[in-house]
Amino acid sequence: MSGMRGRVLCKNSHRYASSHACPGSAPGLDADEKNAKAKALLAKAFPSMGEAKATKPATSPSPISSPSAIQSARKKPLTASQKKVELMRMRHKAVPIDPRFERKGVTIPSLENRRFFKAKALDKGAESEEKVFWSVPDMIGGRVLDNLGRILKVGNGNSPTQLQRLVDDVTGGSSVEPIELQLSVPIGEQTEDGDTLLLVIIDT
């Protein structure tokens, strides 16, 4: 995992990974403590979930130590035809997370050159309303995190955050742990169209 991991949510847009290095990191909060706090927040937000064992996707980044039971409360994975219909709906509802695409005269990427996803925030144990967004695939995770924090109006300069991708088990049987996204890697390399992202705000 990149050294980007563990940085705080800020109000700036970071075009490059090296520029995502804002001041205000929580003192004394190492990776293990951060993951433990994230785990506690997820457990509090989803108290009725079961204890199914996690299945780690072979080609995915290392999962964080959040409760695998988060998946037991989710619906069974959609079929291929259902996913196609759902993605069509998302394309009609999605709004850009990059503010530059809201300006007049700016060329909007074609549908094939966008990444469509759902996103919500978990702040102080409370889950926000899920919304649909799109991003250019080459936007790094750090900028996605910053923009989602701005749009969802969560976090502050002293709040470490994690950006996670919720993973559906293809069998619909066992649970799969959410995956913590790498902030220095393009979002298009870590997600697929239709994924759900969770922005976890960690109290210090």
Percent of the chain with pLDDT over 70: 58
pLDDT, mean of residues 175-201: 91
Answer whether residue 132 is part of any domain. Answer: yes
Answer whether residue 6 is part of any domain. Answer: no
What is the per-residue pLDDT across 23-66, written as a single tens digit (0 to 9) for each? Answer: 444 455 666 776 777 767 666 665 544 444 444 444 444 444 34
Domain count of the fold of the chain = 1
Q: Find the helix or strand (DSSP H, E) in which 200 lies.
A: strand 195-201
Cβ–Cβ under 8 Å, residues 50 and 69 = yes
Per the confidence metrics, is the pTM higher than 0.75? no
Report the CATH number that the domain containing residue 190 is assigned in CATH. Answer: 3.10.20.90
Q: Positive or negative CA dihedral for 134, 182, 9, 197? A: positive
Q: Give residue 175's domain range.
A: 17-201
